[in-house]
Every structure is written in structure tokens, then in C-alpha cells.
Amino acid sequence: MRLEHRGHAFELFASGAIRWNSTLLVADLHLGKETVFQKSGLAIPSGATQATLHRLQKQIQEMEITRLVVLGDLLHAAIGWTDALESMLGQTMQAAGGLQWELVAGNHDRRSHQQLRSLGWIVQEPPVFEGTMRWLHEPDSPDSPDSPAPTSENPPFETTLCGHLHPSYIVPIDAKRTAKVPCFWIRPDSIVLPAYGGWVGTHAIQPRRQDRVLLCVEGDLIEWKLH
Amino acid sequence: MDCAPLESLNNCPSSTRGNVAFLQAIERWMESKKQSPFDWQLQAWSAHASAHHGLILASTGMGKTKAAWLGPLGNWLEDPLPESLWTQRKRQPPAPPLLALWITPLRALANDTCLALQECIDGLNLPWSLEQRTGDTSSATKLRQRQSPPTAMVITPESLTLLLSYPESLETFKHLRTVIVDEWHELLGSKRGIQTELALARLQRIAPNMLRWGLSATIGNTEHALASLVGSVPTRPCSIIRSDQRRAMELEILLPKSIDRFPWAGHIGLAMLSNVIEKIEAANSTLVFTNTRNQTELWYQSLLRARPDWAGRIAVHHGSLAPELRTWVEQAIVDGKLIAVVCTSSLDLGVDFAPVDQVIQVGSPKGTARLIQRAGRSGHSPGRTSKLAFVPAHAFEIIELQAARDAIQNQQIEQRRAIDAPLDCLVQHAVTVALCEPYTKPQFLDEVRSSWAYRNLADEHLDWVLEFVTTGGCLHAYPDFHRVALEAGTYSVRDAAIARRHRMAIGTITSDMMIHVQYISGGKIGFVEESFAAKLKQGDKFLLGGKLLEMEWIREGTVWVRKAKGDPTAVPRWLGGNMPLSSELAEGVRRLIDQIASEQPVSPCLESLSELMRLQKRWSHIPRLDEVLVERCTNRDGDSIMLYAFEGRSVSEGIGALLAYRISQAHGNTLSIAVNDYGVMLYCAEPMKIELASLPQWLDLTNLETDILASLNATELTRRRFRDIARIAGLIHSGTPGKSKSMRQLQASTSMVFDALKQYDAQNLLLWQASDEVLADQLQIERLKGALRRMQANRWVYRVVNQWTPFSFPLMVERIRDRIGNESLADRIRKMQNQLEKAAVEPATTPTIPTPSKRAAQRKPKPSEDSEA
């Protein structure tokens, strides 16, 4: 789905990715999350990490891009970093070919920068400014990811792309039941990406009147009309 | 039934009054208090002295605490331990090591129990120390208790299991002589009961000569209760002790002046408010039992509105109130400060409310055992009469009460079945034991199979459990998992963090997803269910603890409220609101209806239903015991088929779901269902394309399980059921959210865990357990099968009716209830009742067929705007 937003042309995918020119942006993969649970004595089966990477690899191969940017939380925690994960991630990078791999660091990545750099990732602390866009992981305030006024340190920017919230919207299915559906949360001057990872959980958002909500449902993006 | 340990039951040692030294000591002490022991108490003490296990059946207030407790005390008088084995204590004289455990299912009972036990210890002048250990005990005390345990300990099942997870428990329990389980009937049939059984098996291994004693209210399956208490291979002979005194009980029904010919379960007997007020005025103190917390709140409000002068002299008590409030109310009852307390089953158990003179039960108790238990809360001491007044919420409940009365007369009390071999509890236990001491597989198997619940545990299930705690149970899926380490054939826990987390999780079996309600100005009020809290909007008003509260915000897992004026806008929903009629009572109801149908003379309270029954007979039919009644009513509102099984709500639900599913599969009709304890209504706006006479075929038993699971949203039910299983088996981390960073990264909902297992380890036995539990507990598949078999053998009577009959009216109300708001519902039902009354008294004219109004019929659920989700 194409989206014009503050003078930028984006393409949004039901997988939770956003394409901007030849850059693909995703957020919140939480790779290795099952491992973190297993190492802590909780028997959660592996599989989600592998599935997430497969999905990413397939998506990259379907389009012409030169750059992949992760808006934070590529990994779930430092103890989730295993040889197996390193080789899975390496394989995905190799299969995707000569891409530039960038991470805008998130709270979960905090202690894994070194490992990622040695695998070829460019790891930057947020915010990252790209043209008139600002990229970061955690929005300035969870209730309103609106941008603050530019300061002398910050160059002026038009919009913010971020993750961290794992946004979802509670959709009434019938009189008695509701479903929590992951979504893009489009605000007047920011876009919050849904989590790309397969086993990460979501957070129900409460959009305001001027916002837009795009639901990611079984491979399709559907706009949920607010009011 | 397969009960091994029973051959010894009849060799109860006869009463041996006065021929043993310790009995003389006990009698001397009791004489000094102007009491004398009952024969059954003497029997209990002698049985204990002969080293029997035993189960004491008596209702509260009969002296069962003494019956159980003086056994181990007497044992000390006979056989004290040399002082060289006593425990040295700081700043206190040495005391004997841990000799007796008193397991109580309710934390709230621990204080009172301690007082009662201490009185005996003091009375007999024993050097014993007595302490309690529950979730409320401070961690400093808990640590000291592990280092120097008291002689006797009052403990909850969770705290006991936790204590057993420490290596020093091998030392702590070494001298243990007797363990007494209080309110065993409450634990039986729950996973806490299973936890207790496993703990008993463990204790028996540490202290092989330990005697097991249990205290229970009267239940239908005593042998089963004894068997689960003493285990599959009892180490000693077993005795069952019954208090021979039966409590005199007066049951009275408060009948309204006129009985509605068209009863419905919606109003809750508030029409009887003035009669209830009279009753309360006539007594010193009264407990008013209702079946749900909502009714409790409503009755409290209504009483206050009618009698504003009672403010401060009446109170409300239910399980969702903050413990401090509950304790206050309980103490106020004991002190005689209150004239009435409106309560739910939260006051069924425990604290001795000697001052209560009478009990008023609003609505059917739905079970005989519950009725006895509640009646027993009044006149709570030996030799006094229990008084219970019953307020029927609708006409049919009069039949239920009469059935309960008959059951009490004939001693037919409901059975309580223990759960069989749940794997989640075993997973937890496998880790708990590994924390205490390394074990081998045969050792563990022996110990576990010695408990009744796991006596038939299959080898492959044990293998799976041990695999699960060591490798996750499915090798390639869990490469980094190791909760329990397996080395050279022994299982143990190495990781201190895993040990800590497991101990934190042990106590969580009973925790529902409840969330605190607190004043912004400070002060806790109680809890509401998380799902209710999630739906609250700012400004919503709801009742809790007898107060009207306005929701301000939800933060940090707490609903913050302030006091409000006006009327409630939201009604909290608590689980367990709809108790189904017990199958024993349902059978009683069928018999009474048969009596009425055959026009035999009936008891006076059923006489009051004669108008209603005559009308049912005139317009339709009253089923005999060997008949199944089906009614069909087609009017401008649609086509309705009513089937009366009289088997309780859960069976009605099963029948309804099955019929709706099979018929819609065959004919494509979309049917809606309404159920109550007596029957089920199938409803369709268009005519249903089925013949009434084909109904028995639609209820065929082949493929029953598959169809039932397919008919209900089985995945959703299983997912919900899995919540507890995941918590018990330690699949989720149950620490306080946000407590520390390392824990925050372990947050996952049980629903997410369920998804992960379904997707990546679908063979996981815990998933199977969840769907088994849905079938067995929730859908009561066995009861449903029994009912269907009975009905298949019966004669079916089909009646096409022109208007709602007394039997079908309550079902029709159930059906439209979902669509209409509560307030307008009451008005509409009154209107329909009036119309039907008119039809009933003017049989000559063509009856007008009342329908639940056009507006209601048109307000079908809106189709979702989102076509995909």
C-alpha cells in the first residue's frame, strides 16, 4: 500500500515493513527471544526466530533494495545471542546479497552492539536523521509519538519513523468477541511500525481522531476507519 | 470404584475411655472446662493412638478440631521425645522439633486455627511451640522457621510445597509424626488437592511413620476422600470417624404472596426484600448468602436503601474484597457488632461464627452439600439447631429446594471427585523435588505413584514429564533449555536463578487474573477480574464492597477510583457466577416433577406451584420420569424448539451446542441457543427445516467429542484453560511485572505461550491436557454422555404450543437477555408476563402471542465492519 506522508512516498507491507526509495525499514524483530526464555528455565520451543528471518529474507529478495534499516530491538536480549542465532542471521544476510545492514539501536539491543558490528551491521544510537526524516526506536512519549520541536542540536525534520510500541488495534469481531490485530499507527507527524518479529506480543493503542490505523491481516493491509 | 485401603474401615478401635493415661489427661482438662468428650472424639483419639490414618467427618462447630488435634498431643503425652533432640531457640527455651503439621486451605483460617490449637497445647501443659506459615508470613520469620522449626505448624498447601523445595526439609520433617489436613473436601477435586497429595507423599518418604489425618464436611464419596488422603498404598490401617450427632436443621421457605406463573431467573428475589428485612429484625444476627458477588452487592444496596438506619450494622463480604476488609467483617461478626452480613461462598468455610442465629439463602444453592454447609453456619455449636430460610429467586427454585430437603433426609450428598493425574502439577513437583534433593527416576516414580492421584501414572507420561523438565521434551525445539539437570541418572537443579524463579511460582496455583481496586486518596477496596477492568472507561461507575465507585484510571496493575453518587453503569463480572445444578439435585428435581405429573400428593411448598403446573399441563405437558418433553413454538418472532433435560446448565449447554452445530452443518440454518438448568432453546428467525421427531437422532452419541469440540470455539476454550496449566507447569514467569529488567524480558502472556507451543511443539502433552480439561471439567462430557444415554432410552413427548409455557418462558427470557439492556429487559418481561397471565385466565379467547417486541428482534448483532478479522 502506498502512503504519502509529510512529503515522503512510502510503501507499506502487511508484514510490518516500510519501503522508502531503495531502503526497507522494519522494527522489533526480537530475534532469539525463545532462547532467552529457554536459558531462564522456561520451556518455550524455538522456531519463531527462524520464521521471522525467513520472512525477512523472502521479502528482501522480492524487491530491489540496497539498504535494510532496523528501527531497534533486532535482538531480544544479550543472553539470546548464540552460535546458532549468529549463523542464522549470517545466512540471511548472505542470501540477501550486497545490502547495507543498519540498526538504530533499541533498548533490547543495548548489550549486543559489538556482536552485530562484527557481523557487518552499522549500529547507530538514535535519533538518526535522514533528509527530513527522523528515525528512532522508542517514541518520545508512548502515548503521543509526536515529534518535539526541533532544537539547536536537532536539524529540522518533518516526520518520525519508530517502533518499540508493537502497536495493535482491538477490533470487534461480533457482539461478544474482539481480536487484537497488529497495525501501522499513522499519526500526523510520525509513523509507528508494527513489530516484525513473529513471537513478540502487541500493545493495544488508542488512536486519536486525526490518526490512521492500518491493520495487518493475513497478508493484507486494511485501513480501519476511525469514527 | 477402586478403593484399595478400605478393608480396615470397620475395625475402628472401640472407644477406650479412661484406660489410657493420655485420655485421662484430656478428660481432666475438659472437665475443668465443664465439658466432656463425645464418643466419636474418643474414637478418633484411640485410632490415632493405635497409629491409624484417619478421616473425620463432621460439620464445623461440632468439635472436630479437638477430635483431630488431641491425637498428636496425646501421642506426645504417651511418648515424648528426649530433650537431646529438642530444637535450641534464640531467647526462648528449647522446644521439641517439628512433630505435627496442620494444613489449612485458607490463609484466612490460619489465625483462628492457631488460637484453637494453642488452647489445647496450653490446656494439656505441653512444651510445644506453635507457629503459622502462610503467604502472609514475613520472610524473616520464614527463614527462622527453616533454621529452627516450631513443634507444630499451621500451613497452607502452597507454603508446605515451598518448604519442601529446600534441602533442609529432609532435616525439618525428620521427626514429623502427624499431619492433619483441614477442610479436605475443599481441596479434593482441585489442583491444590493434587499438590497436597504430592506433598503428603513426599513427607511420608521423609518421615515414614507419619500418620495422615483429614477433616471433612459430609460428602457423598467418603471412601474416595479417604483414599486420596492416605495414598494408593496406605502405610497404616485407616479409620473413618463420623460424628454421630446430626445437627438439627430447620429449613423454611419464604414464599411470596403470589407465585408467578411465568418464572424467570432474571430478577433475584428482591421482591421478597420486606420478608427478608422482617427475618433479619427478628434475629440477633443473620448471614444472607447469595450465589454471585453481583447479587451480594445488589442485596446490600437494597437493604441499605430500605433501612438507612442499618448503615454500619450490616456489611458485605465476598472473595473480591481486600483481605483487610474481609478480616474486619469477620471480626465484627464474632464480636456481635453486625446484625446482618450479605455474603457469597466466601463465608462458607472457616471462622467460627458462634453468634450467628440464622442463615438466609437467596436463590437456589444448586447443591445439597452447599445447602448443608451454609445452614451449618448458624447455631454453630454442638447441640444447637441450624436455621435456614430460603428465598426463591423464581418459582422453579422451590422445586430445587424441596429436592435438596429430600436429599438431606435421605443422606444423598454430592460426591467430590479428585482430579486424575494432571501433568502440569507433576511437572511442577518434578522440579520442586529436584530442588530439595537429587533423585533417580525409580525413586521419583515410587514416590509419585504412592499418591492416589498418580497411582496409575503411565510410564510414558512420567518419561515425558522428566524429559520436559530436562530438555523441553522435544529435543530440537529446545536447544538452550535446561531447568533440571540430568547427570548420571540423577535429576537436580543447578542454576540458582532457576531455583529462585521456581520457588516464586509454587504459590501461584490459585491466583486468578485479578486486579486491585484502590482509592486515589488511598485505601484498598478489593479486586475485579482483569477482563472487566480492561473494559472500564474513565467515569464508569460500579459497585464493590457495598460502595459505588467511579473509575479514574488504570495504572500499575491497579484500578484507581473515587467514591461516586448515582447508579452503577457497569457490572463487574467475576468467574463462577453461574453454578450449575448438581447432578444429584437435578435428579431430585426430575423426581419431584414426576410426582407432580402423576398427581401424587406433594409437600405443601410444592402445592404453591400448582397453578403454574396446571397451566403447563393445559398448554403442553409435564414430563414423567421416563419421558423427555420437547416443545415447539412458532410465532412471528421466529421458530423455537425447547428440549427439557432437567440435567443442569452445563449439560443443557452441551446439548444446545451439539444440536445447533449438527443441524447447521446439515441444513445451513444459523441457530442461536439459550440454556438454563432445566433445558435448552434452539431459535431461528426462519422456520427450522427439521422434524421434531428427528431430535433423538440429532443427539446420537457417535462422534460426540469431536462434534462438541467443533461446535464450541474449542481453541478459545483451550487457550483459556491453558492459562492455569502454563502457570502451574512453570511455562511463564509469574514475577511482578516491571520488578527488574532481567525479569521484564521474560514477560509473555500465557496466550503467546499457547501459540508458540501450538506452532512449534504441537505434540506437547500440556496442550492435550488443556483440551482434556475443557472436555472433562468445563463441558462435563461424562455427565453429558450419561444424560444423552438416559434420554435416548426415554419416551419423547412432542408438543406444538401456541404461546410460551411456564417451562419455556424462562428460556425465552435467557434468549432475549443478550440483546436487550438490563433495565428495559425487566420492563419488557413484565409486559409479556401480563399478556400471558391474561391468556392463562381467559382460556376461551385465542391467546395473543407476546413476542419480545419488534425492536428487540431487529437488533441483531451488527456484522463486523472488518471483513477479514
State whether residue A179 sits within 8 Å of chain B by CB. yes
Asked if B756 is an interface residue toward chain A (Cβ–Cβ < 8 A), one would say yes
Residue B575's pLDDT is what? Answer: 44
The total number of structural domains in chain B stands at: 5
| Contacting residues of B for A199, CB less than 8 Å apart | 752, 755-756
**What is the arithmetic mean of pLDDT over B545-568?**
79
Whole-number pLDDT of residue B867? 32
Confidence grade of residue B180 (pLDDT, cut at 50, 70, 90): very high
By the 8 A CB rule, do A183 and A214 touch?
A: yes
Compute the distance between CA of residue A47 and CA of residue B568 in angstroms, rounded to an integer: 48
The number of helix segments (H) and strand segments (E) in chain A equals: 4, 16
Contact: A172, B472; criterion CB under 8 Å: no
More confident residue, B836 or B169: B169
| Model pLDDT for residues B210-245, shown as the tens digit of each residue | 999 999 887 778 889 999 999 998 999 999 998 866
Same domain flag for B100 and B223: yes
Nearest one of B333, B244, B251, B286 to B62, comparing CA atoms:
B244
Distance from CA of A108 to the nearest CA of B (A): 8
pLDDT tens per residue, range B726-750: 888 888 876 544 344 445 666 677 8
Nearest CB to A40; choose among B746, B749, B753 = B746
Across the interface, whether the CB atoms of B748 and A175 are under 8 A apart is answered no
Q: What is the mean pLDDT of residues A93-111?
A: 90
Task: Please confirm whether the linkage preceding A156 is cis (ω < 30° from 0).
Answer: no
Chain B residues touching A181 at Cβ < 8 A: 869
pLDDT confidence of residue B12: 42
Please tell me which of the candidates B732, B745, B757 has its beta carbon nearest to residue A76. B745
Which amino acid, B181? V
What's the whole-number mean pLDDT along residues A18-28?
A: 95
Quickly list H helices, B542-694: 583-597, 604-607, 610-619, 649-667
User: Cell numbers 401456541 label which residue?
Assistant: B802
Average pLDDT, chain A: 88
Q: Chain A: give the shortest CA distance to residue B507, in Å.
A: 17
B200 vs B726, higher pLDDT: B200
- C-alpha distances in angstroms, B481 versus B261, B322, B464, B466? 64, 39, 15, 13
Is residue A103 very low, low, confident or very high in pLDDT (cuts 50, 70, 90)?
Answer: very high
**Does position A180 have pLDDT exceeding 50, yes or no?**
yes
B497 chain-A contacts, CB cut-off 8 A: 40-41
* Best mean pLDDT range from A192-206, B194-208, B699-713: B194-208
| Straight-line distance from the first to the last Cα atom of chain B, in angstroms, rounded to the nearest whole number | 49
* Shortest CA gap B534–chain A (Å): 11
Q: Is residue B500 domain-shared with residue B538, that is, in the same domain? A: no
Is the pLDDT confidence value at B196 over 90? yes
Contacts B868 to A, Cβ<8 Å: 215, 217-218, 220, 222
> pLDDT band for position B174 (50/70/90)?
very high
Out of B478, B861, B863, the one facing A38 most closely (by C-beta) is B478
In this prediction, residue B664 carries a pLDDT of 82
Same domain, B637 and B547: no
CATH architecture of A2-224: 4-Layer Sandwich (3.60)
Question: Is A173–B869 a contact, with Cβ atoms under 8 angstroms apart?
Answer: yes
- The string of pLDDT tens digits covering residues B469-509 is 998 877 678 888 888 999 999 999 988 888 988 888 886 55
Q: Over chain B, what is the mean pLDDT?
A: 82
How far is the C-alpha of B773 from the C-alpha of A128, rounded, in Å? Answer: 52
Structural domain harbouring B694: 620-712+779-858
The answer on B263 and B238 residing in a single domain is: no
B475 interfacial to chain A (CB closer than 8 Å) = no
Q: In chain B, what is the greatest distance between 2 CA atoms, to the nearest angstrom?
A: 95
Q: Looking at per-residue confidence, does B78 or B4 come out higher?
A: B78
* Res B859: pLDDT: 38
pLDDT, residue B4, reads 38
User: Rounded to an integer, what distance in angstroms lies between the CA atom of residue B201 and that of residue B454?
Assistant: 11
Please say if the pLDDT value at position B14 is more than 60. no
Q: How far is the C-alpha of B161 from the C-alpha of B429, rounded, in Å? A: 9
B contacts of A42 (beta carbons < 8 Å)? 481, 730-733, 746
The beta-carbon neighbor of B760 closest among A35, A47, A171 is A47
Q: What confidence score (pLDDT) does residue B856 get?
A: 39
pLDDT of residue A195: 96
Q: B322 and B363: one domain?
A: yes
Using CA atoms, how far residue B242 sits from B20, B217, B229, B591, in Å, is 22, 10, 16, 30
**Interchain contact, A37 vs B759, CB within 8 Å:** no
Average pLDDT over residues B540-550: 82
Same domain, B90 and B220: yes
Residue that is last in its domain, among B723, B749, B778: B778
Task: Give the residue-averaged pLDDT of B286-300.
Answer: 85
Check residue B727 and give its pLDDT. Answer: 84
Cβ distance of A46 and B861 shorter than 8 Å: no
CB nearest A77 (choices: B482, B745, B760): B745
Shared domain check, B440 and B396 = no
Same domain flag for B77 and B213: yes
Distances (CA, A) of B140 to B136, B144, B150, B367: 12, 6, 15, 44
Q: How far apart are CA B532 and CA B516, in angstroms?
A: 12
Q: Which range, of A20-24, A49-53, A103-107, B350-354, averages the lowest pLDDT?
A: B350-354
Contacts of A170 in chain B (CB under 8 A): none
Given B409, B434, B460, the domain boundary residue is: B409
**Buried-state track B639-666, b at ≥16 Cβ within 10 A, e below 16:** bbbbbbbbbbbbbbbbbbbbbbbbbeee
**If pLDDT is split at 50, 70 and 90, which confidence band does B9 have?**
very low
Partners of residue B733 in chain A, C-beta under 8 Å: 40, 42
> Does B586 fall in a domain?
no
For chain B, give the percent of residues with pLDDT over 70.
84
The reported pLDDT for the residue numbered B172 is 93
Q: Give pLDDT, residue B510.
A: 47
Residues B454 and B382 in one domain: no
Per-residue confidence band for B452, with pLDDT thresholds at 50, 70 and 90: very high
Q: pLDDT band for position B534 (50/70/90)?
A: low
Q: Could you tell me the three cell numbers for A72?
A: 531497534
CA distance B764 to chain A (A): 10
Of the listed ranges A145-149, B605-609, B783-787, B805-809, the least confidently predicted one is: A145-149
Residue B869 lies in a domain: no
**Around Cβ B18, how many Cβ atoms within 10 Å?**
10
Look at residue B851 in the predicted model and tell me its pLDDT: 44
Which residues in B336-419 belong to E strands, given as ranges?
Answer: 340-343, 358-362, 386-391
Can you tell me the distance from the alpha carbon of B443 to that of B201, in angstroms, rounded to the nearest whole number? 12
What mean pLDDT comes out for the span B166-188? 93
pLDDT at B72: 95
CATH number at residue B294: 3.40.50.300
ipTM value for the complex: 0.86
pLDDT of residue B1: 36
Q: Which residues of B touch A179 (CB under 8 A)?
A: 869
Report percent pLDDT > 90 for chain B. 33
Q: Which residues pair with A24 in a beta bridge?
A: A19, A68
